[in-house]
Structure formats: structure tokens, C-alpha cells
Structure 1
Amino acid sequence: MLYDTMRVEERLILKELKDLGANVALINIDNISLSLNNSGDFGIVLVRPMSHSKAGLVARILNIHGVRTINKGLAIENSWNKAIAISTLARAGIPTVPTRLILSINAQGDGVSYPAIVKPIHGSWGRLVSLVGNAEDLAMIMRHKAVGDSYSRIAMIQPFIGDGTDYRVFVIGDEVAASMVRKPGPGDWRSNVARGGIAHAVKLSADAYEIAIKAVKALDLDYAGVDLLYSEEGGYMVNEVNAIPEFKGLMSVSGVNIARKIAEYVINTARR
């Protein structure tokens, strides 16, 4: 298992792999150099670094040399880039939140409905995400972003749907392992648990689960956390897909041992 920070999730997966009798090696990618000329001695590699950019790069190099990784490097990179992910899913006919890409402070905000969410193409935990009420707010946010590096000046804008409530569906292989609803905490509009969002287990409709499973397949992922939004007009829509998802909160509210299910998937993949 590759990692850069040993979080609760990685410790849980490690325990389950060992309990199932797997021979596990832990590799902290921050403590090694990686040969670009050969793969080295690897079996199935579970990729779990917090840094998605490092994770995708290392996994892609291993994939080039014939090493099977969960998830694949290109799939991690395509999911981490929210603009690429939304485009890929929309092209596959999967319902997605209407999204536009803004590339400079000169964007006119054409086709944008307000209030709207402005967020970077990379990121998690609701960081650097803003709620804007009109075109003037959008222009101000983009001017502020222009002070940063070139990536900071690229943003996605989406309509603000409902009250910020979203649904996390955890997919492993062809199955939904568990799901929860997340509601914004007091004084906030973001549902991220890291921002004080309130979560509890929920069973969604069959079509919601079908959308989540199709999203994981379209991005060529083995497993992922799929975030859905819901509106009366559009039904369930994919908002984001996380290729290295945290799951301790979902385990807590659902009672499902997700770490065990991931470990079983890894072992079954190795046996094929």
C-alpha cells in the first residue's frame, strides 16, 4: 500500500488486509525515490496518498511498467481534475451538475445562474470554494484568484442547488457499499464534514446508485466516493468523484466496514 500520511482509513485497511492473511508492504512515497526505468518488485498496489497529484503520478509510472494499481494513475488524475471528470461523465451520458469553466478574470459569466458556487478544479474538504450571488461577486472572486498562481485563476462555476445538502455514495467494484446524506452545519452552506457538515446514513433510490456506479465505471475507477446533488427538476446529478476517498465518517454513521470491503476487493483482484 502506497501512502504519504497514515490516516485512520489507511490503518483500518491495513488491519483488514492482515486479518485476511494478505502479505502487505507499506511504502511511504515521501521517503523513497522511484525508478523511471523499471517497476521494481510490486504486486497489487493500493494507492492511498493524501496528495492526489503525487498519487496519480506514481500510479501512472507503475502502470506504464505493467504494475496493477487500485486505482489506476490516469483514473486518479482524471477524477482529481474536476473539470475533466465532469466532462468525461457528461460525455458518457451520466447526469452531472451543470458546470462551466472560467479561465480568466475577463470571463463574462455567460450562461451562469445565480446564486452559484465557484471552486477550483482541484481540491477537497470545501477549501477555496465560494458562494457568489451575482456577476459582480464573480468578477471580484476571479480578481482575487488572479493574485495566486496560474492554476488559481482557473475556476469552475455551478448553480447552487437546494440548501447545500449532498449525498456520498461509496462504490467498490460494481456495488454500492454504503451511502450517507450530508447537510451544512450551522452558519455554513457547505456540507463537507470537515467544515462541520452533519451526516447520517441514508438509503437512496436505485437510480441514484446506478448513476454512482456508472460514474465510477466511466472514470475507469475500481472504487470511489461519488458525491451527488438532487433537484426536483434534474433528479440526482454527479457533483464530484473522489478516487482516494476518506470513509471513517461514512463507516461511523452507516455501520458498514468499508475498510474490510476494500481489503476484500484488493485480495480478490490479486487472485484473478
Structure 2
Amino acid sequence: MNKFGWIIYNGNLPGNKFLDYAEMLHEAAAKQNSHTKIIKNNDLLSEFNTLGLHLISDMELPDYVIFTDKDIYLARQLELLGIPVYNNSIVIETSDDKIATYQILAQHKLPIPKTIVAPKVFYQREDKTLPNLHSIVNTLDFPLIIKEAFGSFGEQVYIIHTMEELESKVSELYGRPFMFQEFVSTSYGKDLRLQVVGNEVVAAMKRTAKDDFRANITAGGTMEKYEPSIKAKEIAIQAAKAIGADFCGVDLLFGEDGEYIICEINSNAHIRNLYECTGINAADAIVKHILAQL
């Protein structure tokens, strides 16, 4: 029996890259004889009361959902209604929170930058209580990285060179969750993106920036097809498994002596750039993996 699926994307975000990702998955599903419907997250309303949970929708409920958004509450509502969701809400929530991601990777003793979490602050106020910045610098040295827990496309990542810059940025971010990290100088302006699906890396590319420590394509980086080493593949797969992802993009930094360091895991990694760079459509592998799980 052929399976019917929903592909959910965020209907509130500008541009068409989010719809494009959904359409790539929709086309991949059709090739594998699975009919899917593309749905905006804002077209589904979650309702619950003393009688249970419901969706305010006239649509037939699917056999599975591919969730390309970060609407965790909607993903969880679908799961509680008994619908398999890929990736599930816990994976999406963990991946979206970089601090939570690094904690789990550290628990699994996987290679990550040395990290210090900024203490929780509940609200903005005139009199700011900053963490012990000298202790942080003594541990990480300059330059160091400040990275917000929530952010995309490298936009919430900052390189800090002096105590004055550090004090200014920490004061600016006061009230938001963020962390301090050692700067991996051996990977300045370059990294690897490996697309993991199930137990394999299906495609990879190297990203390089000319004038930025970040290699994100949206920040002006260029991309080239890359054949990762066995070690790089193993680390990427282990990272995906650590957070429970069925599929994800794993970004690796180049460490010293051929080592690799996990920079980020994206449970909703867009695959268009990867396809244009490598000629490999990761959507085919993602849908095949999901249907096999079902």
C-alpha cells in the first residue's frame, strides 16, 4: 500500500527557498510512488481540550509527515495524534538550540570546540551582571567566538578580539541565550557540509569564504564538491545519531593534524545548494529512508 504524506514548511518566512525544499521532497516522493501534499504550518491549527488533541483542518490525516520547519508545537501535536514525523519534534528542538546540541555531543564525547555557556538571564535591565569575562578569556583566549543559541546562516555568530569587544557584545546580548567558544583558526573561512541520511553520508561539499571567518554560502562563501574522508563521515553520522536525527546537515571544521570538529547540526538543512554543487539530490535519499522506516 502506497503511503500518503504531508510536507510541512513555514508559510510566514520571506523568499521561496523554504517552499523549494518542500517541492524537492514532494518530487522525490512522487518518484517513489508516495503521494504527498505540501502544507504551510500556518494552515494547521492545533487544538486541545479535556477530550484530547485535534487539528483544525478538513484535510485527511497523512501516514507520515516530513517536517521542514521549526514549529515544535505543531510537530509534537502531530506526533501525539499518532503520526510519524521526520525529523521528530525532539530532534528539531535540540538542533535549533545550539547549546543543547553541544551538550549532547559532549555527552557522547564527540569533537566540538571548547565551549562555555553564558549564565541564564531572565530579563533586560539597566544594571547588568556580566559573567566572569577574565575567566572565560583565560580558558579560551583571544580571538574567541560568541554564538547565540538560536540563529541561522551564520548571522548570530561573532568573532571577538579584545576585552572591550567582549564586554560590548555580552552587554548587547544580555537576556538572550548564548555561549563562548574557542576559535578554530585552522578552519578560518572554510568548513564542510555533510548531508547525513540514516547511516550514510549521501553528499558533501566544501564551503570557502574569502573575507569572513564564516563559510556560509549566504554570507558570501563559495562551494565545491568534496569527497570526505572515512573519519569525517564517521563523525558526521555519529553526530546525527547523537541527537536522534533521521537526516540532517552536519557542518565540520578543519582542526589540527587532519582532525575534524563539529560546528553545527541542522535538522532542516536546505539541500538546493548541495544539489547544485554535487549533482546529488538528497531529497531522494531522505524520502527513501522515511518510507523504509514506515
Q: Greater shift after overlay, 239-248 or 158-167?
A: 158-167
* 1:263 shift after superposition: 1.9
Q: Which residue of 2 aligns with 1:240?
A: 264
Return the alpha-carbon distance in structure 2 between the equivalents of residues 69 and 142 of structure 1. Answer: 37
RMSD: 1.7
Amino acid at match of 2:173: K
Bigger mean CA deviation after superposition, 67-76 or 37-46: 37-46
Q: How does 1:108-123 map to 2 (within 5 A)?
A: 108-109=132-133, 110=136, 111-123=139-151
Q: 1:159: which partner in 2?
A: 182
TM-score with structure 1 length normalisation? 0.90
Measured after TM superposition, the shift of residue 234 of structure 1 is: 7.9
Give aligned-pair identity as a percent.
26
Unaligned runs of 5+ in 2: 1-6, 12-17, 56-60, 122-128
Question: C-alpha distance in 1, partners of 2:169/2:269?
Answer: 28
- Tell me the distance in 2 between the aligned counterparts of 1:96 and 1:113: 16
TM-score computed with the length of structure 2 as normaliser: 0.83
Q: Which amino acid aligns with 2:62?
A: F
Structural mapping, 1:141-220, within 5 Å: 141-146=169-174, 150-151=175-176, 154-161=177-184, 162=186, 163-184=188-209, 186-220=210-244
- SS across alignment from 2:172: helix
Q: After TM superposition, give the deviation of residue 63 of structure 1 in Å.
A: 2.1
Note closer, same or farther for the CA distance 1:68–1:193 as it changes in structure 2 (3 Å cut).
same
Where do 1:1-272 residues align within 5 Å?
1-5=7-11, 6-36=18-48, 37-38=52-53, 41-49=61-69, 52=70, 54=71, 56-103=72-119, 106-109=130-133, 110=136, 111-146=139-174, 150-151=175-176, 154-161=177-184, 162=186, 163-184=188-209, 186-232=210-256, 235-270=259-294
| Secondary structure of the structure 2 residue equivalent to 1:26 | strand
Bigger RCO of structures 1 and 2 (CA < 8 A, at least 6 apart):
1
Higher radius of gyration, 1 or 2: 2
**Equivalent position SS for 2:273:** helix
Q: Name the CA shift for 1:210/1:127 in 2 (closer, same or farther; >3 Å).
A: same
Contact 1:2 1:26 in 2 (8 A): yes
Shift of 1:260: 1.4
| Structure 1: gaps of 5 or more residues | none
Aligned length: 260
Give the superposition deviation at 1:106.
Answer: 1.0
1:257, distance to aligned residue in structure 2 (A): 1.6
Which SS does the other structure have where 2:293 is aligned?
A: helix
Offset at residue 233 of structure 1 (A): 5.4
Q: By how many angstroms is 1:258 displaced?
A: 1.1
* Cα deviation, residue 89, structure 1: 0.8
